[in-house]
Amino acid sequence: MSETINRKTGAAGFITTRVQELINWGRRNSLWPMPFGTACCAIEMMATLSSRYDLSRFGAEVIRFSPRQSDLMIVSGRVCLKMMPVLLEIYNQMPDPKWCISMGACASTGGVFDTYTMIQGVDQFIPVDVYIPGCPPRPESLIDALMLIQERIRRGEKQTKVYDRTKHPLDLEPIALVSEAAEGAPVLTGSRLSLPPQDVPAQEQNFGPPERIVTHVERLGQGKPLTELKRDT
């Protein structure tokens, strides 16, 4: 990425890469977090943001609960069934480029709560860049995670993938490459379900068709199978 292109004229390649480095430097040193704190990890996040383990010395000065003005989403705390659509909505509202830290055991894997209400890891539905283990993790761990994100931005890596956790744990493979154009209808997992598959989801049966169709899903394609995901040039 930062490899200088050896050209006779030289100027364009050199400036482009330097500008990209400058942009990355700016981005990583001014990461504005969007704290999605739902439970106990949020307390540790608050501790990290306060004066003793100050996070603003890394550039994360502006902690606003507005997704439109943030780069980095810190999911701290367990996410339950009712909260998951809210999390997706907030994540969709964040402008690109965005990164995500999954803080604590509950956000990463569901933690101790393997029940009917708790999402077993938000990385099933949103792309997570850094996972922090712990219950709750210490503030130093959150600072380490932020520094890992900064390192990731410095190297210019693309965003990570969304995993299908309903498969066997040793069987993990990325199924939706979000930084490349994923196609098809939204992927609903559930290979372990005992309920019969429904053509009309329960919400439509009970409440009728939705008032608002999500157009970006339609733009993505016409339901090709996952094995034929198109890649960027």
Residues of this chain that bind another protein (CB under 8 A): 81-82, 84-85, 88, 91-92, 114-120, 124-127, 162, 165-166, 175-176, 178-179, 181-182, 186-190, 192-195, 202-203, 206-207, 216-217, 219-220
Report the SS3 class of residue 171: helix
User: Nearer Cβ to another protein, position 57 or 192?
Assistant: 192
User: Nearer Cβ to another protein, position 45 or 87?
Assistant: 87
User: Nearer Cβ to another protein, position 110 or 137?
Assistant: 110
The nearest distance, CB 110 to another protein, in angstroms, is 8
CA 80, CA 5: separation in Å to the nearest integer? 49
Report the SS3 class of residue 76: strand
User: Nearer Cβ to another protein, position 23 or 187?
Assistant: 187
Report the SS3 class of residue 132: strand
> 105, 135 in Cβ contact below 8 A?
yes
User: Nearer Cβ to another protein, position 58 or 113?
Assistant: 113
The nearest distance, CB 124 to another protein, in angstroms, is 7
Q: What CA–CA distances, in Å, run from 28 to 18, 61, 102, 152, 203? A: 15, 12, 18, 9, 41
The nearest distance, CB 68 to another protein, in angstroms, is 16
The nearest distance, CB 197 to another protein, in angstroms, is 11
CA 125, distance to chain mean position in Å, is 8
> 48, 60 in Cβ contact below 8 A?
no
Of 11, 15, 41, residue with least CA distance to 102: 41
The nearest distance, CB 221 to another protein, in angstroms, is 9
DSSP run (H or E) holding 35: strand 33-37
Phi/psi for 23 (5° steps) reads -65, -45
CA 133, CA 141: separation in Å to the nearest integer? 8
CA 98, CA 67: separation in Å to the nearest integer? 10
The nearest distance, CB 219 to another protein, in angstroms, is 7
The nearest distance, CB 141 to another protein, in angstroms, is 25
